[in-house]
Structure 1
Amino acid sequence: MGFYVRKTLRSGPFRFTASTSGLGVSAGVPGFRAGTGPRGNYVSVSAGGLNYRTTRAQSRRPTRASPPTRTSSQHDVEMEDVTGATIHELVATGRGDIVEQLNDAAAYRSWTWPIFGVLFLAGLAIASWGWLLSGAALVALVYLVLRDQAKRRVIVFYDVEGADERWFDSLVDSTTVAAASQKVWRIVESGQVVTTRQHKTNAGAGNLVSRVSATVTFDAPRHLATNIAVPTITAGHTSLHFLPDRILVKEGRQYADVAYGDLVSGARSTQFIEALGGLPTDAQQVDRTWQYVNVKGGPDRRYSNNPERAVMLYGQLEMSSPGGLYWKVQTSAVSATNRLHESLRAAPRH
C-alpha cells in the first residue's frame, strides 16, 4: 500500500478520518459544526466493485455550453487541434457525484474580504466604540477564512484492496518512471505535410506538430484532498489525475472524468526533429537532417543559413475515450510511455 500518504485529511477547521465503519468528521474550531463543512467521500475499490459513501448531500450544478474547436496554419501546413473534446463536452461517469462537488468547490465565490473591509472601515469611522467593531471584524475574518478553505475543497478517502491495490501501486510506479523523464510534452496540434515544397522546407518531416511542455507529478488538484498519491500529467491549464476509480480531467477551473473502462491507450516510439542544443540526454539521437533538404534528403546548398537538426527517438502515449478525451504525450525516455501504457491497459474495468 505504498500509494497511501495520510490517514486523516483537513479542510479548513474540519478533520476527516476514515475507518472500517465509515467516514468521520470533526470540527477543531468552536463555532463550526460538522454539518456545515465540506462533503466527505469514502470510496471502496475491490474485486466486489466500487462503493461510494458520503457525509452529506449537495446541490447539482447546471451544464455549460461548449466553446468551438479551432484550426491554425504553420509553415503553410494546415494544423488541426488534436486535444480532443473540451471539458464541457465530457460527460461525468455518474460514479458518486465527486465531479459535481469539485465543480462546486472551484466555482465557490468568497465574500470574506469585502465583508471584512466594510466592518473594519466602519469600526475606524466610529470614534467611541469603533475598536470593538474592528475587533469583531478580525474575529469574523478568521472564521470566514476557515469557512472558505472548507468550501473550496472536496474530501475523498480511498480504500483500495486486492488486485485493484496491486494495479494502482503499479500505476504509481510507472508514473515515477515517467516523472524521471527529462522532457515531457503534450501534442496539441498536428498537420500533414502534403507538398514537395513543404517537405523540403521543414527538414524532410512528414508531419508537423505543435507541443507544449508537460509535467508528471503526484499533485492532486487544488480542490481535492485525498489520502493517496495521485499520478498527474499537467500541460498548461489542463491536467489528468489518475484516481483508483476514474481519471479526473481538469481544464482551468472545470472538472470532468473518464472511466477506465472507456479509456483506450496506446504507446509507440516516434522520431522527432529537434534543433541542436539542450537535447535530453535520456533520449537517443538516431539520425540527423537539415532545416532545408533536397529531394534526396541531404542539405539544400542553395540556403547559406541551413542549420543541422537532430532526429531524436521519443516515446509517445495516446489516450482517448468515446466521450472525446484525446491526449498525445511525448517523453524523452521511450520506456516511460511504455510503462504507463502497460499500467493503463491493465486497469480494472469496474
Structure 2
Amino acid sequence: MADGVVMREIESGDVMDMRDETSSEVLDEINARQSQTRLSVILAVLFGVVGFLVGTAIGGAGPVVGVAAFLPGMLIGKWFDGYRRVSVLYYDLEQDAEAAYGRLVAAFETLTGCAGRWHVAAGGKIEDLTTWKRNAGASMLVDKKPTTLATTLPQVVRSNVTPPSIHVGRQVLYFMPDLVLVKDGNRYGAIGYGDLRIQFAPSNFIETGQVPSDAQVVGHAWAHPNKNGGPDRRFKNNRQIPICRYEALRLSSANGLNELVEFSKTNVSQPFCQAISALAQVHGSHRSTLYSAGQRSLTSRS
C-alpha cells in the first residue's frame, strides 16, 4: 500500500514455466550449464589455500602468497567457465526471417531513442477524495523506475546475433530471432513470438519529476485540486504540474509473462508490435499479436 492506495504488482510468474516445445531443448541446456558449480570460485579458493600453505612452509608469508595466488585461480576458473557454462546459439536465417528480425531491431532502436523509459512495477486505483487531492487529481498511482534498453547477449550465450533486450525489474527479456529469452537470476525461460501478446496505449501522466526532453505536455494539473479542477486554496504553494502524454507497452503470455514498460513519446510502440507479429508469422504461428489503444491518467510514487 502507498499513500493509502492498494498497489497491485505487475509481475511475471515463475520463469521456469515459460517454455514451449520449440524452446525446451535449448532451455534445458542453458539451465543445466548454469547449475554447474563455478570453477572460478573453486580454483580461486584452492589456489589461495595452496598459496597460503606454501608461503607458510617457506618462511611464514602464507597470507601474502595466498592472496597473490587467489587471482590467478579465479581467472583460470573463469576461462574454463567460459566454455562449461555457456551455450552457443547460431542462426542461419532465411530471407523472410532475416527481414522480419531486421524490422524488429530497427523498431527497437526507435524505443531506445526515447528520453524517458520506465519499468512499471505496480499500480493502484485512487478511490478516495483525500488521496485524489494529494496526488494532483490522478486516477491511478503507479510505482515505476527508469529501465535499461540495450543490444546485448546474456552472459550464458554466445551467438552470431546480438539481440535487443529490455530490463523489466528483476528479469531481462532478450529478443532473439526465434524467441524471447527470459532471464531471472541464473534461471532462464522462453516465450515464442506466437505466444507473445503485446498491447500499447497512450497515457496521460502527471509528471512530478523532470519532464523528458521529447515528451508532449498536453496540459497542467494543480498539485492539490478542487473537485472542479481548480486549485484548492487551503494548501500553500499549490503549484501546477505538467501532464505528459506517454505510451505504455504491456508484454504478456499465457505461460506467465506479465510486464509493463512506458516511454516518453507516443507512436513508438506500433512498429515494434508489427515486427513481432511478422516474426510470429514467419515461425508458422497462427496466434495473433494484439494491439490496443486507450488512455489513462497516472501519477507515480517510487
Q: TM-score range by the shorter chain?
A: 0.7 to 0.9
Matched residue, 1:112: 43
Does residue 182 (structure 1) correspond to residue 112 (structure 2)? The answer is no
Listed as ranges, the matches of 1:272-287 within 5 Å are 272-275=205-208, 278-287=210-219
Rate the CA distance shift 1:140–1:181 in 2: closer, same or farther, 3 A: closer
Equivalent positions of 1:244-263 (< 5 A) are 244-263=177-196
**TM-score normalized with structure 1 length:** 0.72
In 1, the alpha carbon distance for the partners of 2:255 and 2:277 equals 18
Q: Match of 1:221? A: 154
- Call closer, same or farther: CA 1:143–1:192 in 2, change over 3 Å: closer
1:79–1:165: structure 2 CA closer, same or farther, 3 Å change rule?
A: same
Residues 248, 305 of structure 1: alpha-carbon distance in 2 compared, 3 angstrom cutoff: same
Contact 1:289–1:309 (Cα < 8 Å) also in 2: yes
| Matching of residues 1-350 of structure 1 within 5 Å | 73-91=1-19, 93-110=21-38, 111-127=42-58, 143-275=76-208, 278-349=210-281, 350=283
Separation of aligned partners in 2, 1:301 and 1:108: 64
What secondary structure is seen at the aligned counterpart in 2 of 1:333? Answer: coil
More strand by share: 1
Secondary structure of the corresponding residue to residue 269 of structure 2: helix
Post-superposition shift, 1:211? 0.7
8 Å contact 2:133–2:224 — kept in the other structure?
yes
- Residue 137 of structure 1: CA displacement? 9.6
Q: Give the letter aligned to residue 294 of structure 1.
A: N
Structure 1, unaligned stretches of length 5 or more?
Answer: 1-72, 129-133
Supply the AA of the counterpart residue of 1:100.
D
The 3 A distance-change label for structure 1 pair 218 and 185 is same
Secondary structure of the residue that 1:77 maps to in structure 2? Answer: coil
Aligned in 2, Cα 1:212/1:140: closer, same or farther, shift over 3 Å? closer
CA RMSD of aligned residues (A): 2.6
Moved more, 258-267 or 83-92: 83-92
Using the alignment, how far apart are the partners of 2:218 and 2:74 within structure 1? 61
Larger RCO: Structure 1 or Structure 2 (Cα < 8 Å, ≥ 6 residues apart)? 2
Count of residue pairs the alignment pairs up: 274
What SS does the corresponding residue of 1:312 show, helix, strand or coil? strand
Identity, % of aligned pairs?
26
- Structure 2 counterpart SS, 1:78: coil
Output one character per residue of 1:5-34: Cα deviation in whole Å (capped at 9) or x when no partner.
Answer: xxxxxxxxxxxxxxxxxxxxxxxxxxxxxx
- What TM-score do you get using the length of structure 2 for normalisation? 0.82
| Deviations, residues 106-135 of structure 1 (Å, cap 9, x unaligned) | 33332111111122223223449xxxxx99
> Alpha-carbon deviation of 1:200?
2.3
CA-CA distance at 1:96 after TM superposition: 4.8
CA distance in 1, matches of 2:164, 2:112: 10
User: Residue deviations 1:151-195, cap 9 Å, x none?
Assistant: 232211111112111110000001111111111111110111222
Residue 221 to residue 199, structure 1, CA distance change in 2 (3 Å):
same
